[in-house]
Chain A
Amino acid sequence: AQSVTQPDIHITVSEGASLELRCNYSYGATPYLFWYVQSPGQGLQLLLKYFSGDTLVQGIKGFEAEFKRSQSSFNLRKPSVHWSDAAEYFCAVGGSRTNAGKSTFGDGTTLTVKP
């Protein structure tokens, strides 16, 4: 069965500092991987996705993520955090082509940005 682990429940960084949010997945085949962001009271917004090809994926809002098959990881990074990045971040692994709807989400990492 597929699973996603986000080891950090809460991370605090200073504005302008770099950010890395960790995500580890368990999946039998090549996974579809996603990062979503959820601001308070809002739905989830897709930041970026990995399906295949280049393992370094660029997303919106200056975010990027790197797929590392050997480590079963898909960590999210941003070189310089802005106060507006404070939100909850979810990593997700999508299903195979036979169960695409069964995406599995991690428990989320809450990001706090200090001024």
Chain B
Amino acid sequence: DSGVTQTPKHLITATGQRVTLRCSPRSGDLSVYWYQQSLDQGLQFLIQYYNGEERAKGNILERFSAQQFPDLHSELNLSSLELGDSALYFCASSVEELDNEQFFGPGTRLTVL
């Protein structure tokens, strides 16, 4: 158990819908990272937040957005969902902004029908 929690564990929805994935980092960690893992794209970095502010951006679609709240939990919002958005979404956390040692949550499996 990494100490990073993600909810929900599974999510099934329809195309065109909007969903919110939630992540609580390890106690004391200020940085949160979001990743997408799919069969065709592998593990892709989406975005990083540190202490409430966006710090790095990867291959995140404009239909996706994220934020980190004052209590340091983070939410990833996915809108206008397409079949291709079906994937495992991982959250990771680390102590510092530039700390490369990340601890991963168990993931949220999103299925878009």
Contacts and interface: CB of A to CB of B under 8 A. Distances in A.
Contacts of A97: 98
Contacts of B82: none
Interface residues of B, number: 25
B48 A101 contact: yes
Given A42-B106, A43-B105, A99-B56, A104 B45 contact: yes
B56 A102 contact: yes
A32 interface: yes
B2 A103 contact: no
Contacts of B107: 42-43
23 contacts: A32-B100, A36-B104, A41-B106, A42-B106, A43-B4, A44-B90, A44-B92, A44-B104, A46-B101, A51-B100, A99-B56, A100-B48, A100-B56, A100-B98, A101-B33, A102-B45, A102-B58, A103-B45, A105-B42, A105-B43, A106-B42, A107-B42, A108-B43
Interface of A: 32, 34, 36, 41-46, 49, 51, 90, 94-95, 97-108
The 3 closest A-B pairs by CB, nearest first: A101-B48, A101-B56, A94-B100
